[in-house]
Amino acid sequence: MLITIPDVFTPEEVRTIRDQLDTAAWDNSNKTAGVQSAEVKHNQQLDAKDATAQNLGKLILERLGHTPLFLSAALPLKILPPLFNRYEQGETFGLHVDNAIRLNLYNGEHIRTDLSMTLFFSEPEEYDGGVLEIEDHYGTQSVKLPAGHMVLYPSTSLHRVTPVTRGARVSSFFWLQSMIKANEQRTTMYELDQTIQTLAARFGTNDPEVVRLTGIYHNLIRTWSEV
């Protein structure tokens, strides 16, 4: 399931964030890459302990905690602190799959990466190339979103970022462990939740069928969750 989360940040907020990112200290290390992906990773990144990265990461997590569409699609259990990357002319990240287990540098906790996220901080017209391509059962999905928008997709997916040929692509990327491990079950829960919200808006939250479906939703959470 690939889900776009629009308007995580407003254009005004994006400009404030970009002002900080554009003056940050970028390097081209491969600290977050696995053995295979390090060979195809050619971009710039902020150190995870950089003050700008830490402050903006906290801002992102706080905002997502109040974003209903994200919570519905992800059912997050544990979220790694957001990281930040930058692609300029000629930089790219070849085809790879994200590591299954990652370490939270701040608390020493290992988490399973169920979902990967990219939050864009460059407008599409600011750069050429730099398309996030995600392979799934329906073919290759191309993602290049407006600044302030985010994409959420299974970490099991092969994906790449095509070479940037003009401008700079700036984004945040991070991972989470969901309460629901299986992608198919997560998709079912998302579709059920969206249906409940639609029916509740039409008939009211106390409509008997809405109440019944809400009960089914929570009973499935009990059955499938790892909490």
CATH number at residue 204: 4.10.860
pLDDT at 138: 81
- Using alpha carbons, select from 89, 87, 92, 85 the residue that is nearest to residue 41: 92
Question: Is 138 in the same domain as 45?
Answer: yes
Question: Is 120 in the same domain as 21?
Answer: yes
Question: Is 49 in the same domain as 65?
Answer: yes
pLDDT at 32: 60
Is 47 labelled as part of a ligand binding site?
no
Is 19 labelled as part of a ligand binding site?
no
Domain count, the chain: 2
pTM exceeding the 0.75 threshold for the entire prediction: yes
Q: What is the mean pLDDT of the chain?
A: 95
Distance CA 186, CA 78 (A): 15
Is 128 labelled as part of a ligand binding site?
no
Mean pLDDT, rounded, for 154-173: 97
Question: Is 174 in the same domain as 198?
Answer: no
Question: Is 169 in the same domain as 214?
Answer: no
Decide which of 227 and 186 is more confident.
186
Say yes or no to pLDDT of 33 above 60: no
Question: Is 188 in the same domain as 90?
Answer: no
| Per-residue confidence band for 29, with pLDDT thresholds at 50, 70 and 90 | low
Mean pLDDT, rounded, for 11-16: 98
210's CB contacts (< 8 A; 6+ apart) are: 196, 199, 200, 203, 204
Among 30-44, 76-90, 198-212, 213-227, the least confident range: 30-44
Domain containing residue 203? 183-224
Q: What CATH code is carried by the domain that includes residue 22?
A: 2.60.120.620
Distance CA 222, CA 227 (A): 9
CB atoms within 10 A of CB 111: 16
Question: Is 98 in the same domain as 73?
Answer: yes
Is 7 labelled as part of a ligand binding site?
no
